[in-house]
Chains A and B, each alone.
Chain A
Amino acid sequence: MLYREAGDFKTSYASDNQTFPIRGDRMAYWAVLAVAFLVVPFVLGDYWANAVVIPFLIYVIAALGLNLLIGYTGLLSLGTAAFMAVGAYATYKLTTAFPGMNIYLVFLLSGVVTAAVGVLFGLPSLKIKGFYLAVATLAAQFFLIWLFTRVEWFYNHSPTGQIAMPERSMFGITITGAAASSTAVYMTCLIFVVVMAWLARNLTRGTLGRTWMAIRDMDIAAEIIGVNPLIAKLSAFAVSSFFVGVAGALMFGVYLGAAEAGEAFSINKSFLVLFMVIIGGLGSILGSFLGAAFLVVLPVLLKLLLVDGFGWPADLARHLEVMIIGALIIVVLIAEPHGMAALWRTMKEKLRLWPFPH
């Protein structure tokens, strides 16, 4: 009964255009933000922070980025992990070259570097689409990882071939390195997630987002009504890669601390982010959150239930996880191509009418 739009009249286009037109949604949104900023940092333990919450936040950014590309612009990419690696290595190179630079700025600049690389690998999208484009982005995955493992300059000639994040702090709070508290890391990731989700929402509801979706839904018609396909596609690659690059920078900078391209950013990670986007919901900001949450939480839950609860061997639980995810992808693609976000939307529509069926 509370969840109604009846009587909630909009008197300006601004209020009609807002992200959450229904008051209940708006309140829920502010409540979630308040809990995330004011409650979670004080109750979050190290285990949950490192196993669930921080990876979730980082994957949200990556999933948002990939969703802008696949879900909003309809360009399939399998090179997500490689672009995350670009962000990670850019962070490493920037912060070792300019140790005094503000670490948040380093993360953002890493995103910018990744955006440039993304545009470069997005060029084939002007001529090819669908699976052919996916294969072209697969080339990015293999080429970039090869580059980062073969060219010593990228890892400052370190004998292990790894990059390791030095300790950096802001306002006296250690943010990266082994000494960083999980609260500081959590807050860093949260700030980036909130700001980037907000940016993604703004971009997708404005002119640029409409040109992206026009390209996705019918590229020829889009061109005839005035969309410049070059700008639409390359801007999608740039923005998407920016997001993915920042996710990679955070993954390396605040979460892993040390990384080796071939291991930390393998093709499996590309697929993981792709599955998040598909299960969560193509073309939905909320879907990126839901998909990332689901695929980060699922292995932890399975481990808690099967290994700790039933005493099964850990490798069996791992295999089961892969099978469940595989089955889910198929079920989602057949039953609900728009993912968990669409389920949520259907539920809300039902709720709006409740207790009446129509």
Chain B
Amino acid sequence: MLDSQEGYVTADGRQIGGVVLELKNITLRFGGVVAIKDISFDIRKGEIRAIIGPNGAGKSSMLNVISGFYNPQEGDVIYKGYKRPKMAPYKVSRMGIARTFQNIALFEGMSVLDNIMTGRMHHMKAGFLAQAMWWGKAQKEEEEHRAAVEKIIDFLEIQAIRKTPVARLPYGLKKRVELARALAAEPQILLLDEPMAGMNVEEKEDMSRFILDVNDEFGTTTVLIEHDMGVVMDLSDRVVVMDYGKKIGDGTPDEVRNNQDVIDAYLGVAHD
């Protein structure tokens, strides 16, 4: 096991830092249903960490615990070395944790640009009166952040749709806009809940490239839930495997692939 300060070097030569977020003995219950049972793992700076497992294993619940939407009954979330107290989700997001959703959760009535601008909300500080008058700080700020948002729009290649209402976009682009909105927050940790669900091969390739580029360019720590094993094994540096709310495996893609518990519960064997 690695020390919490110490990093490691990935197979493709990227330097991974110390632990950013650590989950310690998390147990989450909904009434009598135990969604997560005594799970511990850590997320290190700069890595792409995948969470996999069959449907209903508790992966999304885990993400919801990290993003502060669920409060676990037992266990601690340790963020940047400090135990995170129970707090409202919007405060968690201000601490640098952004996410996308399994079922797209964009603001349908707003344009792509406005959606992405909402992601930058915590960076915008103009007061109420300045905004009402559209004067001084409010206007200057709007332009500065527009410039930052345009960078993300360029990066994700969605220039052509920036003024389009989100409701008119096809599924694949919506997923991309959602990623853009999360990136606009300049998060320390980016949580992606099935970013490739329901996509065709080409769209998956695009999305994989974006995730890798984001990690490469901005050094964003990424936590990813995904069912496409090819994608997961290619993208991620370390993988957590969950089944029925329990952790059954944790390690590099190769370690996980050869773990008998994981094969039995989820991966299965090829019949040839």
Q: Which residues on A are within 8 Å of B, measured CB to CB?
A: 12-14, 16-17, 199, 202-203, 205-208, 210-211, 213-214, 216-218, 220-229, 235, 283
Contact = CB atoms under 8 A, between A and B. Distances in A.
A207 B131 contact: yes
A345 to B, nearest CB: 11
A283 B131 contact: no
A26 to B, nearest CB: 16
A213 B134 CA distance: 18
Contact of B89 (A202, A205, A207, A223): A223
B101 interface: yes
Nearest to A218: B105
A14 B185 contact: no
Contact of B114 (A213, A225, A235): A213
Given A202-B134, A213-B114, A217-B110, 4 more contacts: A17-B143, A202-B133, A216-B109, A226-B185
B42 interface: no
A228 B67 CA distance: 15
| Residue of B69, B90, B124, B128 with most chain A CB atoms under a 10 A cut-off | B90
Interface stretch (B22-30, B115-123, B218-226, B250-258): B115-123
B118 A214 contact: yes
Nearest to A232: B90
Given A210-B114, A220-B105, A222-B107, A227 B131 contact: no
Contact of A217 (B94, B108, B124): B108
Given A224-B93, A225-B93, A206 B105 contact: no
21 contacts: A17-B143, A17-B146, A199-B132, A202-B133, A206-B131, A207-B117, A207-B142, A208-B128, A210-B110, A210-B114, A210-B121, A213-B114, A217-B110, A218-B106, A222-B107, A224-B93, A224-B105, A225-B93, A226-B90, A227-B90, A228-B88
A226 B147 contact: no
Contact of A225 (B124, B147, B181): B181
Nearest to B68: A224
B143 A14 contact: yes
